[in-house]
């Protein structure tokens, strides 16, 4: 699909930046004229992806999180959240509901939530090299509402 517009952001993996990432994603997605429900879905999925990077990629340090958003032909929003942290040894296992490396205070539902709010979810990771989460959401056209 042809790219119509994009943004790239990079920020320290600090919990204070999760809200910024969520707001930036919503502001960028607004140009596609999403419904409030679609916008809420995007914000929730971005929050989960960024929080995962902050909590799991850099448990003992503050690394960097990169976020890229693209608007593709056909009203498709693509969101990619990447870190260069510790990576995930077993992505399939990590995508199972209730599995977490974040201790008892974590629900282990991050990937499940992302998948339920977006149309597609792809996770690529390598131990010691980081993780990239790519999600897409097709924004319905006004005629389709």
Catalytic residues: 48, 52, 106
Distances (CA, A) of 2 to 20, 35, 68, 73, 77: 27, 23, 16, 5, 12
User: Are the C-beta atoms of residues 115 and 126 closer than 8 Å to each other?
Assistant: no
Q: Which token pair is 26?
A: 């919503």
Q: Which token pair is 144?
A: 């389709």
CA distance 79 to 132: 10
């Amino acid at each position: 699909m042809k790219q119509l517009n994009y943004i790239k952001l990079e920020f320290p993996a600090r919990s204070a930046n999760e809200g910024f990432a969520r707001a930036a994603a919503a502001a960028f997605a607004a140009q596609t004229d999403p419904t409030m429900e679609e916008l809420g879905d995007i914000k929730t999925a971005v929050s989960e992806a960024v929080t995962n990077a902050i909590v799991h990629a850099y448990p003992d340090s503050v690394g960097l999180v990169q976020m890229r958003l693209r608007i593709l032909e056909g009203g498709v929003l693509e969101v990619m959240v990447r870190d260069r942290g510790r990576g995930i040894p077993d992505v399939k296992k990590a995508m199972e509901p209730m599995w977490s490396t974040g201790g008892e205070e974590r629900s282990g539902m991050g990937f499940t939530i992302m998948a339920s709010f977006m149309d597609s979810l792809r996770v690529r990771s390598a131990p010691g090299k980081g993780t990239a989460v790519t999600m897409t959401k097709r924004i319905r056209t006004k005629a389709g509402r």
